[in-house]
Structure 1
Amino acid sequence: MDDRFNTAAGWLLFSGIVALGASIVSGMYFHGDNPEMPEKPGKLIVGAEEGGGDEAGYDLGTLLAAADPAAGEKVFAKCTACHTINQGGANGIGPNLYGIIGVPIGKHAAGFAYSSALSGHGGVWDYANMDKWLENPRGFANGTKMSFAGLSKPEDRANVIAYMKANGGGPEYPAPAAQEAAEGAEAVEGASDAPGAGPGPVEGAPVGEAEAAGGASADQPVPTSQSATRNDGATKPGEGN
């Protein structure tokens, strides 16, 4: 009994020694106790959120210029569970939205119980604010009672805004960024072509003292007092060479 116990204990001790030695050797080989940084750290890759690629760098004026109210009506079908948009339509879970573009935020539909997040927001429903609201209602007005998650695609939001404008009107769309840049370039070019803008004197413009002095310094014809010679050899007073 004692011999078998001693034998088992010996093997158990031996196994522990082997396991410990293997652990030390593997740690030395793989640098587990002292990890080394790679010479060139890898780049962290962050997965793009759904629809995030469409958000980057869009110009609202350009999207609205190409927006389609008919396409916006199809997207607006998601909103009809809570909203009406016909003139004189009743309020539902959400307010009637006829003529909402350009009016104060949270004060459009008379008698509707807006949340304090909207009624106290301030500003008007211009195109920029409406775009932000449709993208993320709770991000625009934290505490709103509206549970809609939002529209991730800028094109869908632009089409819905066009549909809203078609139902109640609104101010003119903002100019596309490319058009504003072109108009700015034309204004600069036109300014450079204006009278007096370029170098040198301009016909009809007042002449400054410096220009007048410069003009006077040019060579001028000098009248002579010599008399012209007559055919008979005499000279006639007042006649020059």
Structure 2
Amino acid sequence: MFDTMTMTKVLGAVCGTFLVFLLGGWAAELIYVGTESHDEEHAQGYVIDVPESGGGEPAEAEPEVTFEEAFEVADATAGEGVFRNCRSCHALEDGSNGVGPHLFGVVGRDVDAVADYAYSGALEEAADVWTEENLYAFLQDPQGYAPGTKMSFAGLRDPADRANLIAYLATNPGS
């Protein structure tokens, strides 16, 4: 059964398989790695130019938009689109609380005015009334404005989004 010819065929098959793997590895290296030439004309990847900073000085930060500047051009219609971020936890209908309290008439309302909602207590320490300015600061960084608040939302970084959302909430009946 295992004569010399069978052993030769098995050894030939093993060597042939090994040769196929070697040739495949060589071809893949040519395709993905390229040649040993590292000149700029044949360099792999992209070069990203990074401007040199002047002696380790920090880069000039964008000027902070004030509440007044953002609120002058606030658009309630655009704020309705921003409210989509809030819908998962808040409702606009009076008395229908979700994970968070309802936002019916929130602008100008006392901070802990929703009777059937259990507030964390952190908001009462931060403000008394939800004025536009208080909402603007709170929506930027809820945890920074009222440490310990139940609201786990990271905040709205764009000042225009915050102002638009407040303008939309102010048009809500009851505001």
Name the TM tier (shorter chain). Answer: 0.5 to 0.7
C-alpha deviation, 1:44, in angstroms:
2.8
C-alpha deviation, 1:166, in angstroms:
0.5
Alpha carbons 1:100, 1:108 under 8 Å: kept: no
In 1: Cα distance, 2:73 partner to 2:174 partner = 17
In 1: Cα distance, 2:96 partner to 2:165 partner = 20
Quick one: which amino acid aligns to residue 121 of structure 1?
Answer: A
Alpha carbons 1:72, 1:162 under 8 Å: kept: yes
Alpha carbons 1:69, 1:160 under 8 Å: kept: yes
Whether 2:150 is the aligned partner of 1:145: answer yes
Report % sequence identity. 43
Structure exhibiting the larger radius of gyration computed from Cα positions: 1
Whether 2:97 is the aligned partner of 1:84: answer no
**What secondary structure sits across from 1:77 in the alignment?**
helix
* Structure 1 alignment gaps of length 5 or more: 1-40, 171-241
1:92-121 deviations in whole A, cap 9, x for unaligned? 10000010111222x121210010101333
Q: What is the Cα-based RMSD across aligned positions, in Å?
A: 2.0
The equivalent residue for 2:100 is 94
Alpha carbons 1:134, 1:151 under 8 Å: kept: yes
C-alpha deviation, 1:63, in angstroms:
2.2
The TM-score, its normalising length taken from structure 1, stands at 0.47
Whether 2:138 is the aligned partner of 1:133: answer yes
In 2: Cα distance, 1:139 partner to 1:75 partner = 21
Alpha carbons 2:127, 2:134 under 8 Å: kept: no
* Structure 2 alignment gaps of length 5 or more: 1-53
- Equivalenced residues, count: 122
Alpha carbons 2:126, 2:145 under 8 Å: kept: no
